[in-house]
Amino acid sequence: MSSTTLGVAATRRAYRLVAGDDGHHLQAVEEAIPPLGPQDVLVRIAAASLNYRDLLVMRGQLGPVRDGLIPLSDGAGSVVATGSAVSRWRAGDRVAPMFYRDWAAGPYREAYGAAALGGGATDGVLAQFVVVPEASLVRIPDGMSFEDAATLPCAGLTAWQALVVRGHLTAGDTLLVQGTGGVALFGLQIATARGARTIVLSSSDEKRERASRLGAWATINYEATPDWDVEVRRLTDGLGVTHLLELGGPDTFDRSLRAIAAGGHIAQIGVFSGFGPRSNLMRLQLINATIDGINVGSGEQFDAMNAFITAHGIAPVIDRTFGFDEAAAAYDYLASGRHFGKVVVRL
């Protein structure tokens, strides 16, 4: 691949996860841009965003990580070059790679997991240029910045899958979200746009105030009110919420079960407090409630979410943007839990 055929340099800067005595760490590299196959697209990544999953990958908590893996699943940029058989994209198109490279449409299949970007085996987007199959790209909304668009592939689509695709959330419903990270705030914004009321849990009064300005109907400081499930039921006239984004994991699930209304829907998403079930799920049966495991979404669902975001003027919430040379600091900032919304790296 030459600079003549691409109109760009033949090398790229990237970060790779390298194993050390204390786990994996980021290593900056300069390397050749991978060659294009007939159905591949070369994308210049303008921005990437971090998810809690990226911390788990770095720590090896999601299973083995290939030494030298390029991390991060979420990015956005522009098409630079296309393979000889590509018909859908052309240079200059503004795109985002899909979290699950092979999940374009239809139901999820376990086989898709191995090709999740920035996971254990498949390179992600923390690189100036990436090569992806033609079918693994989604057009980003017109007028949206690359930084904003880089927050959509995982956090935005996870909230969309949980509330709209699987949850069928409608006007008049009530939603509880745990925390003020990316998925939580996308959930708040989507629910508000669909006419639902959202309760936000946070230990920070400043973040609670910001959530209120973003449209939260009510907020609860879970440190000041550790029995937050009781307060949720009080706020909902004893009924509980109809939808709940379960982001905490085992340490919050029992209270989530007590906070959900009869016939309600829990979207199981996060593992902030660890792994492994600890709850007695009999209550789900007793109140005819449901729980869905949520694992991002397909390219088709991504397109539908983008149309909704455009129609309702939803702007992703970015807490802080780091430069490419500050990628390690971006990881540290995410790990600190101080963020409100998304953490982005500008390439």
Task: Convert the pLDDT of each residue in 104-155 to its tens digit.
Answer: 999 999 999 999 999 878 999 999 999 999 999 999 999 999 999 999 999 9
pLDDT score of 203 more than 70? yes
What is the per-residue pLDDT for 7?
Answer: 56
Residues 267-314: pLDDT tens digits? Answer: 999 754 344 555 667 788 788 888 999 999 999 999 999 999 999 999
**Residue 62: band (very low, low, confident or very high) from pLDDT cuts 50, 70, 90:** confident
Residue 334 Cα distances to 169, 209, 226, 270, 280, angstroms:
29, 20, 24, 15, 32
Distance in angstroms (rounded) separating the CA atoms of residues 94 and 100: 19
Residues 21-35: pLDDT tens digits? Answer: 777 899 999 999 999
pLDDT score of 178 more than 90? yes
What is the per-residue pLDDT for 2?
Answer: 34
Q: Among 93-102, 114-123, 194-203, which stretch is predicted with the lowest mean pLDDT?
A: 114-123
Residues 217-256: pLDDT tens digits? Answer: 999 999 999 999 999 999 999 999 999 999 876 778 889 9
Phi and psi torsions of 271, nearest 5°: -135, 40
What is the per-residue pLDDT for 33?
Answer: 96
Question: From the CA atom positions of the chain, what is the Rg in Å?
Answer: 20
Work out whether the CA dihedral 17, 317, 135, 11 comes out positive or negative.
negative
Q: What proportions of the chain, in percent to the nearest 5, are helix, strand and coil?
A: 30, 30, 40
Place of tokens 């909704």: 308
Q: What length is written for the chain?
A: 347
What is the per-residue pLDDT for 250?
Answer: 77
pLDDT score of 1 more than 50? no
Percent of the chain with pLDDT over 70: 94
What mean pLDDT is predicted for residues 46-50? 98
For residues 318 and 65, the model is more confident at 318
Give which of 154, 161, 148 is closest to 268, Cα–Cα: 161
Chain centre distance of CA 65: 20
**Residue 64: band (very low, low, confident or very high) from pLDDT cuts 50, 70, 90:** confident
Half-sphere CA count of 238, side-chain side, radius 13 A: 0
Distance in angstroms (rounded) separating the CA atoms of residues 99 and 71: 12
What is this structure's pTM? 0.93
Distance in angstroms (rounded) separating the CA atoms of residues 174 and 244: 8
Q: Which domains does the chain have, with CATH numbers?
A: 3-153+316-346 (3.90.180.10), 167-293 (3.40.50.720)
3-class DSSP state of 168: coil
> Where are the extended beta strands (E) located within 51-117?
74-82, 94-97
